Amino acid sequence: MRQTKIIRNVWLGIENLLLHKLRSFLTMLGVVFGVGSVVAMLSVGEGASKEALEQIRKLGSNNIIVSSIKSAEEEATSTQHSHMSIYGLTYEDYRRVATNFEGVQQAAPVKLTRKDSRLRERAMELRIVGTTHEWFELVPRQVLAGRVLLHSDQEKQAPVAVLTEFGARKILATEHTIGQTVRMGGDQFEVVGIVKSESGQAGNIQIPDQEIDAYIPIEVARRYFGDIFTKRTSGGDEREMVELHQILVRVDDPKKVEAVAAGIERMLESSHKKKDYVVSVPLALLKQAEATKRTFNIVLGSIAGISLVVGGIGIMNIMLASVTERTREIGIRRAIGAKRKQIIYQFLIETVVLSTTGGMIGLGVGVLIPFLITYFSGMTTLITLNGILLPLLISMTIGILFGLYPAIRAAQVDPIIALRHE
Amino acid sequence: MIEQSATRSDAEIVRLEDAYKIYQMGTQEVKALAGVSISFKKGSFWAIMGPSGSGKSTMMNILGCLDRLSSGRYYLESQDVSGLDDDSLSEFRLRYLGFIFQSFNLIPQLTVQRNIELPLYYLGWDANQSAVRAKELADEVGLGDRLDHRPTELSGGQMQRVAIARALANDPQIIFADEPTGNLDTRTGEQILELLVELNGQGKTIIIVTHESSIAERAQRRLHMIDGVIDRIDESSNA
Ligand SMILES: Nc1ncnc2c1ncn2[C@@H]1O[C@H](COP(=O)(O)OP(=O)(O)OP(=O)(O)O)[C@@H](O)[C@H]1O
Ligand SMILES: [Mg+2]
């Protein structure tokens, strides 16, 4: 009963608004754009934070990535012919980080090299990483076939290789390749598994398994390939001696990630003469992403908020005009016996109908915008239930807030004066 | 005197006691009502007459619970309404009173049916019942075929009939009509008056303000006002 009454009142409000279709439409435009921008903003913001989280997940949120870089001085001298640059992380660095370093749970060394390789009649250059079984715990990736590196491979210094999905595709390996021999450089390796690879980067940190084709035990890599690499460049051969290219570190407690990173930084500082390493913390990226998102939300939120307020003022303005225009009608209703609160109710329903209709149209616009953004820029956008309910709630509130004053004005109309009003 | 069988307190529907309505215009006081005492009986038909500015409309507004006295007492159905708040006065208007105005005062954007239904809407009737009642009332005033028309599509006489149908919707005890024929030609005015006489025959108390003596003739009693006070009361010999 009560419910049908509300529906009836809403319907009467709609009827009245339909008497002035163009005016009603123009009145709600402000709310349409306000809500539209709120919805669009929320979805872009949500999308960005989802994307950031996804990246952090790929990098490992408890991880620290220490990478070798050529120091600035080294960069300057390396152009000289037959010069060999020596830089980067050492086996000693790895040993110190991996054993008894405060807060470190696990660490994996990374030694990168490129070798001409051959699987049956298919020949390709593969990017090879020498590492330990810990790698696969620090950077968990789905095993597509076979297995990953084991502790026993290390002990036995077994010539085994785990291909990434990416590398497997390059060299035309399939699950049937497991157990077959792949030749890398001058040596034979047994293919023992294929793992899924992820690509992408977050900020300036690359996903650790970006551009890796095959994993082999690090001891094997060291024994077979050594620490000296020759890069062919246009100016002749360039030789480098790098023991380790990366050390992946997992911290036991996410709260300690930054402190441990600082500890590693200090330790490296004391043992390296040059700054030929960089310590990156994916978690810091997350914080950075969140800070960016917050700023983003504040800026766009205030713009959206301003347009909503402007929309609300537009509605209020028109409703005030409408009250003046309908003074006589109000007088008639009051003379017949309508109470003040019933007049308030009538006008309030009209504004709320206006603003919520505007809100719903705005929702449509606001859903379309992120869709177009994703379509044209490839940026991730995400529309959540909150992203829909919040703007509708806001538009309803706007209707009540900005409708209240005109409605109260309407209720203050003196019926005697109103009835004389021509 | 027209004696009625009911007891005095039953028979009386409206009583003003030493009623004053004073408007403050700057430093000057305008006494629109300057000490009026009068009592109307249930089922009576009164005409209020007097020159312009004598306080007729003011009195109607007070009696119709649209306005409040500056001092004095007003009893409606033996209840003192002089001290009631706005909501209670609205409630009185809604349940017991009906209004007819010189300028009809229909709501232009609503159809005839919706205009007639208006009091029922505020009384909380449901849509179907209201529609049935509106049709009945429209038939009663001879406009049963005009329910879907807008007021602007009607003649003055027809608009006043709609206004009467609306005034009757809540089955009021008293009908107030402030110059109901003022905007109509003589013949149409006569017809409207016939309707009011008929309603009086059905037992409704009718109070009408008019300048036309031919209209006032039809009332049982005429109250003549001058400068906010009662000048005299006369009774129809033919009533
Ligand atoms: N709101 C008001 N403020 C000030 N003075 C008022 C107000 N309403 C009425 N008056 C004054 O009260 C007096 C009585 O007015 P009222 O409208 O009752 O006269 P009336 O008898 O109905 O006249 P008419 O025949 O012209 O309709 C007039 O002098 C008028 O100017
Ligand atoms: Mg008057």
- For chain A, domain boundaries: 2-56+288-420, 63-252
Cβ-nearest to B61 among A4, A340, A416:
A416
Instruction: State the virtual CA torsion across A203, A208, A209, A211 in degrees, nearest 10.
Output: 60
Nearest-angstrom CA–CA distance, B193 and B195:
5
Provide the total of helices (H) and of strands (E) in chain B, helices listed first.
8, 10
What are φ and ψ of residue A234, in 5° steps? -65, -30
Mean pLDDT, residues A248-261 = 87
Domain range annotation of chain B: 42-57+85-235
Cβ-nearest to A337 among B90, B105, B107:
B90
Provide the total of helices (H) and of strands (E) in chain A, helices listed first.
14, 15
Position B3 scores a pLDDT of 44
Q: Between A253 and B131, whose confidence is greater?
A: B131
How far does CA A365 lie from the centroid of its chain? 23
CATH of domain B42-57+85-235: 3.40.50.300
Size of interface A-B (CB pairs under 8 A): 57
Interface confidence, given as ipTM, is: 0.93
Query: Which tokens belong to A206?
Result: 């690359």
* Model confidence, pTM: 0.73
Position A271 scores a pLDDT of 87
Mean pLDDT, residues B1-16 = 63
- Pick from A103-117, A254-268, A292-306: least confident: A292-306
Mean pLDDT, residues B159-182 = 95
Contact yes or no for A415 and B166 at CB 8 A = no
Position A78 scores a pLDDT of 56
pLDDT at position B18 over 90: yes
Ligand 1 close to Cβ of residue B103 (< 6 A): no
Q: To the nearest whole angstrom, how far is the Cα of A381 from the nearest Cα of chain B?
A: 46
Q: Which of A128, A57, A132, A62 is nearest to A94 (CA)?
A: A132
pLDDT at position B166 over 90: yes
What is the pLDDT confidence band of residue A275, given thresholds at 50, 70 and 90?
Answer: confident
Which ligand places an atom closest to the C-alpha of B48? Answer: 1
Q: Which residues contact A94 (CB under 8 A, 6 or more apart)?
A: A107, A109, A244, A247
Ligand 1 close to Cβ of residue B70 (< 6 A): no
pLDDT at position A340 over 90: yes
pLDDT mean across residues, chain A: 85
Ligand 1 close to Cβ of residue B193 (< 6 A): no
